[in-house]
Each structure stands twice: as structure tokens, then as C-alpha cells.
Amino acid sequence: MKILVINAGSSSLKYQLIDMTNESVIAKGLCERIAISGSVLTHKANGKEFVFKNDMPNHKVAIKMVLDALVSPECGVIKSMDEIAAVGHRVVHSAEDFTSSVLVNDEVLKICEKNSELAPLHNPANVMGIKACQEVMPNTPMVAVFDTAFHSTMPDYAYLYGIKYSDYKNYRIRRYGFHGTSHMFVSGEAAKYLGKDIKDLKIITCHLGNGSSITAVDGGKSVDTSMGFTPLEGVPMGTRSGNIDPAVIEYLMQKKGQTISEVMNYLNKECGVLGISENSSDFRDLMAEGVFNGKNKLAVDAFAYNVKKYVGAYAAAMNGVDVIVFTAGVGENDPYIRGAVAGNLQYMGVDFDDEANKNFKRGIISEISKPSSKVKVLVIPTNEELVIARETKRLAK
């Protein structure tokens, strides 16, 4: 069974074709600059990379190009589109409408469209991706896999903000959480690696990348997470501010004479480690040899400190922790930040292994706590596409 996984953004579309008999990726690629001049498809298959520079005025044309590449004699991996058993789509926001993945029908699409008001940067593009696929592959089942769904198990006292309950009810203002597929995947992998039933584990998963979130997973269920109503809440990120006192917004508007949307754009795109360093949103740039000092170092240290505070908070929320997991671009690759977060948590039962942290191997699970450590610290490569493919296989059967 082959599953196509689609992650559609407003001007981009990432895809992977996964053979579910052995969960291997047989082709993957990226369409960029959809509906902008200079569209380009980069397709990787059979160990080679192919680049196609054709106009992609919309997502439907992009999907058609992807399918053409997948079946083409030169760079294809399948004989016909019929080999694609189902398509799994990443959809960012499910609100409270879905608590797990669903097979797409007209009603589901309508709900996803309605929820665009909660995720205006993501859901419209995700829906566009689904509709484009439906047009080009009308007989192939489509599945929507939501970023928020894994967090639907959060208790009400954890997801509610301290605002009027009627505003939560009327306007759906609450904490939803994101990166759900990643937190679900790495917490499951941690249990497998340790040979334990996930029901018996308290896990804190730190998804640290350009966007970052930390989740408390108790018995396999998300019970709290750092991102909120939008991905802006939580730790400072690449360009997002993370938590700030909401009064700062009005104060900034007065001081800079900016509108509310200008300030929101600032908080989403100009803050975080980019804002503090006034240099770059990319952790590699900030930590490159010879430049890891001054405001670059301050930005990275502020980031790590905030992650550490969530780790402490979630250990309290769960009355303990058995495993701390690091994943995503920064979590999987950067020993300095992992050390700054977990290197000094002896009181919690973490016996951190500096050598193992420095000498970890990329792309596989590494244990970076000492064998005697009460709390295990693991680096686990995430795989959100595989979660989408597994969910799609489960529902499309």
C-alpha cells in the first residue's frame, strides 16, 4: 500500500510517497512559489534530485506536476496514479470539532474551512491542498491529520485561559496546542525504545525547531502543552516572541504608533531569537564558530532557559517525569541547548551524560542520560509525515 502525504502551505507544497509495507519513503519533494512567478518543483527519487521550473498558478497545477513526476519514466517511482491507495493531508487546526484524524468528506471540508478563522495562515492552504487533490484524484480517499488533535486530551483546567468562560464558549478562545503529530510520534518512540508501556510513563517532549513547543504526555496522552490559541504562545522561537504580558501590545502600539496588525506581525515575525539577537532566526547562524557571543548567545540562552522552565512546570503538573525527549531541528542537533535545558536538573532525578550528549549520532535515537539516571533523557528524530501516513492507512482501509 502506497500513501501520498501532503503538507500544503499558502505558496508551497511538501510531499512524500511512502510504501507502507516497510514504511520507506520512495519519493519526496517540494513545490515552491505556487501562484508566484518563478515556481519550482524539486523532486527526489531513486537517489537523484530533479528540478522542474514550470508555472504553478495554483495548488491544482502543483499537485498535477507532483503526480506527473511520480509516474514519469525518467524520475517516477510508480506506474500509475492508481497505485496511490490514499492521500494524507496535514491540517493545522481541528478546534474542538475533531479529536483525531478523519476521512475527508464535504462536511469535514466545511468544518476545516470554518476553522480557518482560528488558523488563518494555515487552514486555508491545507484545505486548498485537499481540494486540489480531490479534483485530480477524485476516487482516492483523503484523510485529514490535525496538528491540534493529540492535545485534545488536555483537561479543561489546563486548556482554559483566565478569561470569561463565556468568551471561551462563544469564541472558542482556549489553548489548543500544535506539533501534535511530532509529540505523539516521539513519545511513542520513547516508550518503544525503553521497552515500556506508554501508559506507565510520564514523558516531557521538547520539539525545538524554528517553531518550538513542549508537551507533558502522561500515560500516552497530552495533558498540557506550551503553544496555545495560536503557535505564538510558549517559549521564544525563531521569530515568535512566545509569552509576553498582553499589556505590552497596547504599550508598543502607543510608543511606535503601530496598528494592532503591525504589532501582531512584529510578535510573529520579528521577535524570538531573531528579536533578541537582532541578527538571525536560525540557531545555526547564532551558534556558528566565532559568533556565539553577545546578543547571539543571550538569545540562545533565553530560549533554553524558557524551555527549562516548561520542563520544570510539566514535571510538577504530572507529579514527576520518567523521560525527557528532545526532537526537531534544534532538539535533534544541538548539544549546547540540550545541555542548557537538562544538564542541571539533578534535583529532578536527571543524571545528564555530557559525553553522550556531545557524541550523539544524528538520525537515530540517542540516550544522553547516564545509565543510572532515574529520568531518561533521549534524542529522538521526529517523523511527522510517517504519523500522517500511518493515520491515513488506518482510516483508508
User: Which spans of this chain sit near ligand AMP (rule: CB under 6 A)?
Assistant: 209-210, 238, 282-284, 287, 328-330, 333-334
Nearest to residue 131, comparing CAs of 58, 54, 32, 27?
58
- Look at residue 268 and give its three-state secondary structure: helix
Surface-to-core class of residue 361, CB atoms within 10 Å of its CB (0-12 exposed, 13-18 middle, 19+ buried): exposed
At 389, give phi and psi (nearest 5°): -65, -40
Q: Are 282 and 276 in contact (CB under 8 A)?
A: no
Least separation, in Å, of the C-beta of 332 and ligand AMP? 8
* Catalytic status, residue 147: yes
Question: What does the DSSP assignment read for 109-177?
Answer: HHHHHHGGGT-TTTHHHHHHHHHHHHHHSTTS-EEEEESSGGGGGS-HHHH--SS-HHHHHHH--S---
Q: Are 325 and 190 in contact (CB under 8 A)?
A: yes
Q: Are 172 and 160 in contact (CB under 8 A)?
A: no
Residue nearest to ligand AMP (CB): 329
Residues in the chain: 397
Surface-to-core class of residue 301, CB atoms within 10 Å of its CB (0-12 exposed, 13-18 middle, 19+ buried): middle
Q: How far is CA 80 from CA 27, 61, 83, 197, 389, in A?
A: 14, 18, 6, 41, 19
Q: How far is CA 117 from CA 97, 303, 305, 353, in A?
A: 14, 29, 33, 45
Catalytic residue among 147, 218, 322, 334: 147
Closer to ligand AMP by CB, 32 or 282: give it.
Answer: 282
In whole angstroms, give the CA distance from residue 128 to residue 136.
Answer: 12
Residues 6+ apart with CB under 8 A from 168: 160, 161, 174
Closer to ligand AMP by CB, 115 or 187: give it.
Answer: 187
Nearest to residue 215, comparing CAs of 241, 235, 196, 200?
235
Least separation, in Å, of the C-beta of 368 and ligand AMP? 15
Catalytic residues: 147
